[in-house]
Amino acid sequence: GAGVSQTPSNKVTEKGKYVELRCDPISGHTALYWYRQSLGQGPEFLIYFQGTGAADDSGLPNDRFFAVRPEGSVSTLKIQRTERGDSAVYLCASSPDSSNYGYTFGSGTRLTVV
């Protein structure tokens, strides 16, 4: 596709449930990033992939959060045992490589944990 695609656009889940958020990057982009944006805040870095491997996962808040990118394209962010504090917009971005560009974000998944 022309841009970064994220699905679902909205997700409401009950506390304690497991969720998966999907990101389909721009074709050919090797670097993929996940960010989280809470209300009134700027996006915060979670994890980035260069190809299939997680090159830096230092922003993941705890071990309930995990992300994969098995074929170096689509990525899935997985959250186990969701908590109300996980409610936020989860943004994905991709770039041609991990050089110092400002990259393009997808429209995000708005996660609400009730």
Partner 1 sequence: RKEVEQDPGPFNVPEGATVAFNCTYSNSASQSFFWYRQDCRKEPKLLMSVYSSGNEDGRFTAQLNRASQYISLLIRDSKLSDSATYLCVVNRGGGGNKLTFGTGTQLKVEL
Q: Two tokens at 106?
A: 């997808």
d(C-alpha 48, C-alpha 70), whole Å: 13
**Residue written as token pair 């909205």:** 10
Q: Does 12 bind partner 1 (CB under 8 A)?
A: no
Number of residues that bind partner 1 (CB under 8 A): 26
Q: Does 42 bind partner 1 (CB under 8 A)?
A: yes
Residues 58-77 that bind partner 1 (CB under 8 A): 59
Q: Does 87 bind partner 1 (CB under 8 A)?
A: no
What DSSP assignment string belongs to 6-51? EE-SEEEE-TT--EEEEEE--TT--EEEEEEE-TTS--EEEEEEET
Candidates 69, 35, 76; CA nearest to 52 is 69
Q: Does 39 bind partner 1 (CB under 8 A)?
A: no
The smaller minimum CB distance to partner 1, of residues 28 and 102, is found at 102
* The only residue of 11, 44, 64, 66 in contact with partner 1, by rule CB under 8 A: 44
Question: Which residues contribute to the site for partner 1 (CB under 8 A)?
Answer: 31, 33, 40-45, 48, 50, 55-56, 59, 91, 95, 98-108
